[in-house]
A and B are shown apart, each in its own frame.
Chain A
Amino acid sequence: GAVVSQHPSRVICKSGTSVKIECRSLDFQATTMFWYRQFPKQSLMLMATSNEGSKATYEQGVEKDKFLINHASLTLSTLTVTSAHPEDSSFYICSVQWRGDSLHYEQYFGPGTRLTVT
């Protein structure tokens, strides 16, 4: 499998400020990463697909100007929440796409980032 890290693990910011969350693939080069959002006691919702060297693909209903994704290298994708508001408070999780020893893809997840906007 793949090892994925996220930084920071927790962040508290004031309303109106921007926050950057990093997702790193530690042991292989990931051309594709994914960003998810998870509200308390709910399942994960895919926000966007991050492709190295190209623009991210956003899911319907996700504001691309609010959630800026940059995948500048094969080991790092960043999610920036711009002009954060309390309703952006959530658990953000990234994953990397890995094609193992079969023809099928797997996803390995980071530990998540808890964002609280006050």
Chain B
Amino acid sequence: AQSVTQLDSHVSVSEGTPVLLRCNYSSSYSPSLFWYVQHPNKGLQLLLKYTSAATLVKGINGFEAEFKKSETSFHLTKPSAHMSDAAEYFCVVIGAAGNKLTFGGGTRVLVKP
């Protein structure tokens, strides 16, 4: 079985400052990990994915995440937050069968002007 823990339910940053969203996972095998973003009343958009290639993964909109096996972490970062980054972010691990997703609880990002 696998699980995902997003350590912060809410993160508030000022526009132009860095964003850090923390995610820890538990898995009995080498996992595939994803970050999705959800804007209000919208579906989920894939930001980036880790699938056992490079440990530093670059995604869309300036986001990147680093897979650290020793720390079982997959934290999401962005050097400079934009107002449009205000949304809910989900860290996700894919199941052993290769299809079922396990979602973290989500982190709501607020960007202050």
Contact = CB atoms under 8 A, between A and B. Distances in A.
B59 interface: no
Given A49-B99, A97-B99, A105-B98, A43 B104 contact: yes
Interface residues of B, number: 22
A43 B42 contact: no
Given A105-B99, A107-B101, A44 B43 contact: no
A54 to B, nearest CB: 15
B43 A110 contact: yes
Interface residues of A, number: 26
Contacts of A42: 105-106
A31 to B, nearest CB: 11
Interface of A: 1, 4, 6, 32, 34, 41-44, 46, 49, 91, 93, 95, 97, 102, 104-112, 114
Interface of B: 32, 34, 36, 41-46, 49, 51, 90, 94, 98-101, 103-106, 108
